[in-house]
Structure 1
Amino acid sequence: MGRREKPLGDCDKPVRQLALWLRAVRQRAGLTYTQLAERTDYHPTTLQRAADGTRVPAAHVVGAYARACNASPDEAERLRRAASAPRIKDAPAEPGGLRIAASNDSLRQAMIRLREQAGQPSLRELERRAGPGRLPRSTLHDILQGRTAPTHDQLAAFLYACGVPARNLPVWTKAWKRAQIVDQPRAARPETAEAEADPADPGWELLRRVVSAQMRQRNPEQVTARFLAVHAGPGSAMLGPR
């Protein structure tokens, strides 16, 4: 049976489950990694690394491993997908300041903080996690550099790639919608931007009142300050004429 495998180190639970499953099916098949390699197109070291718990192996490696052990390729792929799903470990899903984000720049800053919380994955990795065609890394680079604003679909793909749970998406959507009102001249705003305003969000009424007067001077800082005052509660009374 060859040398005993090293114990699994500190790894995420789904990665551990995949590694333990791969080890178990190989042991049931009574194969060494050299014998396993003879049944596949992969080197013994590649197969051993697939079950060491330090990474999520490629789908084709996991499938070949399972078939060589007379185990279920479908179960192997299910475990591999669970292990590769994006997650944020020990980090809040809502960066500070998101609830008062009132411009594309403040939304961009929240996206940058979220990426940091997710472990600073590369643009290539975020593109892979988001799925084919959803978030090209060149586009994401421009968004994070402030050269362009994200569409709602691009924002949703970014949040998925960073592991934000579905229950936390509405606050991001509200921030995105507010940015559409603040950062565009009235004539250029999407027709649905104000129609989709959430009456439960006090920031919308504030934006309706100040955007036409203050954004002509392109002063999003004042808008954000007043938006924060509204969220403080009774301070909305401070919004009288200036």
Structure 2
Amino acid sequence: MAVMPEKNRKLALALRDLARASEYSLDTVAQGSGLTLSTVTDVFSGRVVPNRETLDRILQHLGAPKSQYALILSLHREARAELDSRRARRSEISFRSDIPLPQFGQPDPLTVATPAQFVEALRAVRIWAGSPSLRTLEARGRGRLSKSSIGAMLKADELPKYERFVAYLYACGIREKNLDVWVFTWRRLKALQGPESQWMPNLTSSTTSFG
């Protein structure tokens, strides 16, 4: 049996104490807040961390004093933060175990000289990652990628949006120093497109070293 996270337990305990002090049953809380009994039961047992709207409806019905209201909101923020952290870890574990990623042979963008070549290198990254489907990449993007945006980016001959190509690289398994090289290359090419390049000494269309 899974162990209940401590922050879930503290939040649920505070809500049960408040309901007990008001002499409200779970049925009464559900009816008064307009929530289903199963939702209230899950929240008060600690199985579920409610969203803010659900929590506010419960607290308004219970008539929580200001001091207790503030305490429960603080516990809720901590429980939600812990939940988000667990979800992020699960997503990362799922990503790592999805397909085997080689520790060598990653496409190197340092010699890229044009936006079109940059996009070609991005397509090579997808192959290096095992040619995941656009749907898979979208899922790994955690809301920052869509199938259509990835497809359009990989068919274009111009520099992609910064946030989009970084999310794409992360979804393909590019990390840390390797990601830094890609960011450096994108910024180099972006600067060369305008007069800003005059403020960047020794900036050329391609390079063979980084850092």
Query: Of the candidates 31, 42, 46, which is equivalent to residue 39 of structure 2?
Result: 46
TM-aligned CA deviation for residue 20 of structure 1: 1.2
- Return closer, same or farther for 1:139/1:77 CA change in 2, 3 Å cut-off: farther
Partner residue of 1:215?
A: none
Q: State the distance in 1 between where 2:2 and 2:54 align.
A: 21
Q: State the distance in 2 between where 1:109 and 1:54 align.
A: 41
Q: State the distance in 2 between where 1:159 and 1:74 align.
A: 37
SS at match of 1:42: coil
The answer to whether the 8 Å contact 2:137/2:168 transfers is no
Query: Of the candidates 137, 161, 167, which is equivalent to residue 146 of structure 2?
Result: 137
% identical equivalent positions? 8
Partner residue of 2:181?
A: 174
- Return closer, same or farther for 1:124/1:109 CA change in 2, 3 Å cut-off: closer
Which letter maps to 1:137? S
Q: State the distance in 1 between where 2:89 and 2:138 align.
A: 14
Partner residue of 2:8?
A: 19
The answer to whether the 8 Å contact 1:19/1:53 transfers is yes
Partner residue of 1:211?
A: none
Which letter maps to 1:107? V
Query: Of the candidates 142, 153, 164, which is equivalent to residue 154 of structure 1?
Result: 164
Gaps of 5+ in 1: 1-7, 128-134, 182-188, 198-202, 208-242
TM-aligned CA deviation for residue 37 of structure 1: 1.4
> Deviations 1:51-93 (Å, cap 9, x if unpaired)?
566665433113333454534353223432441245134746x
Q: State the distance in 2 between where 1:83 and 1:170 align.
A: 29
SS at match of 1:205: coil
The answer to whether the 8 Å contact 2:107/2:124 transfers is yes
TM-aligned CA deviation for residue 147 of structure 1: 3.7
Partner residue of 1:32?
A: 25
- Return closer, same or farther for 1:108/1:125 CA change in 2, 3 Å cut-off: closer
TM-aligned CA deviation for residue 24 of structure 1: 0.4
Partner residue of 1:80?
A: 80
The answer to whether the 8 Å contact 2:16/2:44 transfers is no
The answer to whether the 8 Å contact 1:99/1:175 transfers is no
The answer to whether the 8 Å contact 1:56/1:84 transfers is no
Q: State the distance in 1 between where 2:132 and 2:178 align.
A: 14
The answer to whether the 8 Å contact 1:33/1:47 transfers is yes
Q: State the distance in 2 between where 1:112 and 1:68 align.
A: 53
The answer to whether the 8 Å contact 1:123/1:141 transfers is no
TM normalised by structure 1 equals 0.46
Which letter maps to 1:205? T
Partner residue of 1:100?
A: 106
RMSD: 4.9
> Deviations 1:83-108 (Å, cap 9, x if unpaired)?
1245134746xx54578332212434
> Deviations 1:137-165 (Å, cap 9, x if unpaired)?
35554269x445753222445689x7x9x
1:115-130 pair list within 5 angstroms: 123=139, 126-127=142-143
Partner residue of 2:114?
A: none
TM normalised by structure 2 equals 0.51
